[in-house]
Structure 1
Amino acid sequence: MKLYIYDHCPFCVKARMIFGLKNLPVELIIMRNDDEETPTMLIGQKMVPILQKNDGSVMPESLDIVRFIDKSDGKPLLIGKTNPEINAWLAHVNSYINKLLFPCFAKASFVEFANPEARDYFRRKKEASAGNFFDLERQKIHLIKNISNDLKQLDKIIVKPNAVNSELSEDDIHLFPLLRSLTLVASIDWPNRVAEYRDNMAVLTQINLLFNSINSNEKPS
């Protein structure tokens, strides 16, 4: 199977997680961020992740991919109950976090930004939805303070370092990608339980964290 992704994309991380958790092989294809032709050819629009199955059929939507792969061998891993507190925490953080993350993504050394045109494409698209990156950078200190405080609240909710609710569930699929993205941002205050969970999930899912991924030609985030 092939999984078409961007490395920075949290939705793509969701799809990647289930392959790592189940130790299943998958060929990762990282597209350029300005490549509209490939995803449009596969599913009729520019969207990731996209799973191409062994029979050649394709499937978009990260959670659909996660659920399909998890159940494909008859031995699902994501059987734990979800926690409304996790959902509420994510909803709150997701209301502002892209203002912090998008400018950091735009400066990082991701394969999808290998050429200037792809990096500029990302910047134009995200500035249209989140605001001018220069203006967002001026909010960085405030945003880092916000997420550091919110991580302290998350620290109280985490039950175990290998599953946020003690047993693997879709809450883990939603939570880890955000924490992974935040490893791109310097100066965040990581509480102990959150950091332990973040690091353990990186090992279990076989997905690298993003510390030290800022482009050497850019100022650190």
Structure 2
Amino acid sequence: MKLYVYDHCPFCVRARMPLGLKNIDAEVVYLDNHDEETPIGMIGAKMLPILNDRDGHMGESLDIVHKLDVIDGQPIFDGSPTEALLTWLKTHDATVNTLVIPRAPNAIYPEFVDPEAIAYFTAKKEATFGPFAELIAQTDVARAKMEAALDELIALLPNAERPSIDDIYLFPVLRGLTIVPDLTFPQPVMEYMTMMADRCKTPLVQLQRVI
């Protein structure tokens, strides 16, 4: 079994989470971000994650999560995410993107080691979100908004000791935010992230950095 991913991608982190939480043996393969041929050859589209197993190739992160979830016959990611958590994620999505998207093409992630991959990502995302320089210029305002939002999140945090579908939605977003310099996480949020990262075997970005 192979799981093709990008390390920066929250949807890919979703698909990786069951591997760690359920001790599923699979090879995680990081593709270069500018590699179009490989994913298109597997599922007909340039998108990840992609699961390759005896049944063939599967895209769509939540479909992959649910397929991995039932391997041991003890599903824990069934049901629907908490409505209040979905509202929080939707409300703050634009702020998250402002902070994370322009910082994502960073060689800290294996898919961006090749400068061509950085150029490819930058061109694609700037066409959607605008020039990265303009997004970076909004950092102070966006960071203050995000820190206020993280304070609000404390009351909505899932229980990291009892993983559920809520974690599949929340943890990848929080992990992505750990690339943002000087973003302060409230202690309960940091404790949640640290425990979930350990259990998922998916380290926070700040812990991957070479200081």
Range into which the TM-score falls when normalised by the shorter chain? over 0.9
Q: 1:104 to 1:41 in 2, by over 3 A?
A: same
- Alignment partner, residue 52 of structure 2: 52
Give the letter aligned to residue 127 of structure 1. Answer: E
**1:76 Cα deviation (Å)?**
1.1
Is residue 187 of structure 1 aligned with residue 182 of structure 2? Answer: yes
Is residue 74 of structure 1 aligned with residue 73 of structure 2? Answer: yes
- Alignment partner, residue 28 of structure 2: 28
**1:212 Cα deviation (Å)?**
5.8
Give the letter aligned to residue 33 of structure 1. Answer: N
Is residue 177 of structure 1 aligned with residue 172 of structure 2? Answer: yes
**1:206 Cα deviation (Å)?**
0.7
Secondary structure, aligned partner of 1:45: coil
Give the letter aligned to residue 89 of structure 1. Answer: W
**1:74 Cα deviation (Å)?**
1.1
Structure 2 CA distance, aligned partners of 1:199 and 1:104? 21
Higher helix share: 2
Q: In structure 1, which of residues 176, 197, 200 is the aligned counterpart of residue 195 of structure 2?
A: 200
Contact 2:112 2:118 in 1 (8 A): yes
Secondary structure, aligned partner of 2:34: coil
**1:23 Cα deviation (Å)?**
0.7
Structure 1 CA distance, aligned partners of 2:204 and 2:176? 8
**1:114 Cα deviation (Å)?**
1.3
Could you state the TM-score of these two structures normalised by the residue count of structure 1? 0.90
Could you state the TM-score of these two structures normalised by the residue count of structure 2? 0.94
**1:213 Cα deviation (Å)?**
5.2
Give the number of aligned pairs: 211
Structure 2 CA distance, aligned partners of 1:135 and 1:24? 42
> Cα deviation per residue 1:114-155 (whole Å; 9 max; x = unaligned)?
111111000001101111001111101111111100000001
Secondary structure, aligned partner of 2:104: helix
Give the letter aligned to residue 75 of structure 1. Answer: Q
Percent identity between the two aligned chains: 41
Structure 2 CA distance, aligned partners of 1:81 and 1:161? 17
Secondary structure, aligned partner of 1:29: strand
> Cα deviation per residue 1:166-195 (whole Å; 9 max; x = unaligned)?
x42211101000110111111112111111
Structure 2 CA distance, aligned partners of 1:201 and 1:159? 10
Contact 1:4 1:29 in 2 (8 A): yes
Give the letter aligned to residue 195 of structure 1. Answer: M
Structure 2 CA distance, aligned partners of 1:31 and 1:73? 28
**1:77 Cα deviation (Å)?**
2.2
- Alignment partner, residue 219 of structure 1: none
Is residue 37 of structure 1 aligned with residue 51 of structure 2? Answer: no
- Alignment partner, residue 114 of structure 2: 115
Q: Which runs of 5+ in 1 are unaligned?
A: 217-221
